């Protein structure tokens, strides 16, 4: 039986956290395992809309990232996939300050389309946003090896270990 290589997961988290977009939105991926991801976003003035609350587009980015990375550990080595869509429910306004925790999960894994979800909560645990997302699997669309090359990282260790 094979199991996920913790060294691989750690390196992918490191790679993701050094990506330009995660830096732009002040987000850090902190955990990934089969069917699950968790990220945190440090809210800043740049996330705010003209009214002082967090812009819906910032929330959309947060939950998109968590929904996407929740699927990664379930897929074969160097499988490629992209987000097809997001259905976002903004459920509570927030002040635009503090830390938001975003958790993603896999609802259903299909042969070419998978359904994932994510939710964002404030520091008091209140649900701010929920999303459903469809991911399209394709070997040529965003395999992790492409990110490794683009970011100038050394090759990753194997994704899976055999027992």
The CATH number given to whatever domain includes residue 96 is 3.10.129.10
What local confidence, expressed as pLDDT, does residue 1 receive? 79
CA 43 to chain CA mean position, Å: 17
Does 162 fall in a domain? Answer: no
Q: Which domain holds residue 139?
A: 2-150
pTM listed for this prediction: 0.95
User: Quick check: is 146 in a domain?
Assistant: yes
Note the pLDDT of residue 96.
82
Q: Total domain count for the chain? A: 1
* Per-residue pLDDT tens digits for 88-105: 999 998 888 899 999 999
Q: Round to whole Å and give the CA distance between 151 and 143.
A: 13
Residue 71 lies in a domain: yes
Question: Residue 160 domain-assigned?
Answer: no
> Is 155 part of a structural domain of the chain?
no
Confidence at residue 163, expressed as pLDDT on a 0 to 100 scale: 75
Residue 90 is assigned to a structural domain of this protein: yes
Distance of alpha carbon 153 from its chain centroid, rounded? 19
Token look-up 């270990």 returns 161
Has residue 97 been placed in a domain? Answer: yes
Domain membership of residue 74 (yes or no) is yes
Query: Which mean pLDDT values do the consecutive 10-residue runs of the chain (163 residues) have?
Result: 95 98 98 99 95 95 99 97 98 91 98 99 97 98 98 97 87
């Amino acid at each position: 039986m094979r199991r996920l290589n913790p060294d691989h997961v750690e390196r992918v988290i490191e790679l993701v956290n050094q990506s330009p977009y995660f830096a732009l939105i002040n987000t850090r991926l902190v955990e990934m395992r089969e069917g699950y991801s968790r990220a945190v976003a440090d809210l800043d003035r740049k996330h705010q809309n003209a009214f002082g609350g967090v812009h819906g587009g910032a929330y959309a980015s947060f939950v998109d990232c968590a929904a996407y990375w929740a699927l990664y550990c379930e897929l074969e080595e160097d499988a490629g996939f992209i987000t097809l869509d997001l259905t976002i429910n903004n459920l509570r306004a927030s002040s635009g300050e503090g830390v938001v925790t975003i958790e993603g999960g896999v609802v259903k894994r299909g042969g070419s389309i998978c359904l994932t979800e994510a939710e964002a909560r404030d520091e008091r645990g209140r649900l701010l946003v929920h999303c459903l997302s469809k991911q399209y699997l394709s070997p040529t669309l965003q395999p992790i090896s492409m990110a490794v090359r683009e970011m100038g990282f050394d090759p990753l260790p194997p994704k899976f270990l055999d027992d």
